[in-house]
Amino acid sequence: MDARELEAYLHAHIPLSAAMQVSAVAVDAAGVTLAAPLAPNINHRDTVFGGSASAVAILAAWSLLHARLGAEGVAARLVIQSNAMHYLLPIAGDFTARSALAEPDQWPRFLRTFARMGRARLRVTAELHADGQVAARLIGEFVALAMAAP
C-alpha cells in the first residue's frame, strides 16, 4: 500500500479524515506519516484543537497496523482499545503525525497470536511534529480481530 492508496482508503472509510483534510505522506514498514492543515482543525485559540491532534495521531497509528497487516495478507478488524495523549506544545500551523510500533520485536508474536487466537494486541506510538519540534505524543493499544465469516 502506498501513500496515495492509504489516503483514498482513509477518506472513503473514515470520513472524519477527509473533513480534517488529512493526507498520507509516507507509508513503509517502519511507520506511517500523515499530514493535516491547521484550518479545518483550528480551535478558539488559533491552534490545533486537541481532539484533532489526537485523531490524526490515532489515524497514523491505526494506519500503520492496517498497512502492515495488508502487506502480510492478513484480514482483520482493527480497533483502538486504549490510548494516552501527551500534549507538549501548542500547534499553530500545519502538522504531521509519524507512527511506529512501540516494540517492533513484538510484531512476529502479534502475528502468531492473531493466527492462533483470532485476536491480538499491539502498542503503537505516534509523534506529532510542527515547526520542526515534537508537539505531542500518543501511545495506543490496538486490537486486531478476526473477520467474521460471511
Tell me: the pLDDT tens digits for 88-130?
999 999 999 999 999 999 999 999 999 999 999 999 999 999 9
| CATH of residue 90 | 3.10.129.10
The residues that bridge with 20 in the sheet, in sequence order, are none
Beta-strand ranges (E) seen in the chain are 23-28, 31-36, 76-87, 95-101, 119-130, 133-146
Tell me: the pLDDT tens digits for 48-102?
999 999 999 999 999 999 999 999 999 999 999 999 999 999 999 999 999 999 9
The model's pTM is: 0.95
Q: What are phi and psi of 136, to 5 degrees?
A: -160, 160
Range of 62's domain? Answer: 3-146
Domain count, the chain: 1
